[in-house]
Amino acid sequence: MMKVLADTDEPVERLGAFDGPRTAAFSSLRSPGGGRLHCHLRKVATDADPELRRRALGVLSREKTDYAQTRLLQGLKDPSKALVRSEKALQLLVNNVHSDAYTVAATIADNPPNPAARREALRLLAADASSAPMFEIFHSIRASPPMSGSSAPRPCTHQSR
């Protein structure tokens, strides 16, 4: 497994390492020899191939490694350091949530780079009890009846000649 991940001349084989029965090898990350595999996955997490990065970070995230948490948060705080798209980083952070993740997710929910990132930030924040007031605000906005009467915006009826 480690040979396959290390062989940069075989991109298809490297991707194949993350498919099917071969993924069982990742369960050995917690075994005594798992440190070497962990080291290889960290290298793959910064690979030029975005699919390999995503998959390696997925394994590292599911294994609750501090490395994955740190690198994902780094990319969310500074997009120039991102290893995966913001929405994917937020999805992966759910595997090992720390308080920093909630802070970053709240920032992204307020000012998202795209709608998918906002959706994932809100999903992550849904698990944080201290984020409840934000969801109450969203709910009250959606539940509000449309504006009418003197406070409603009026269509422009003035025609200039």
Question: CA triplet 12, 92, 94: central angle to 5 degrees?
Answer: 155
Domain edges within the chain:
1-63, 82-139
**pTM of the entire predicted model:** 0.69
- The amino acid sitting at 86 is S
Per-residue pLDDT of the chain (161 residues; tens, 9 = 90+): 555 555 555 555 665 666 554 455 555 555 555 577 788 889 989 999 999 899 999 989 988 999 999 999 999 999 999 999 999 999 999 988 887 899 999 999 989 999 999 999 999 988 887 887 777 666 566 655 555 555 555 544 444 44
Give the span between the Cα atoms of 2 and 66, in whole angstroms: 21
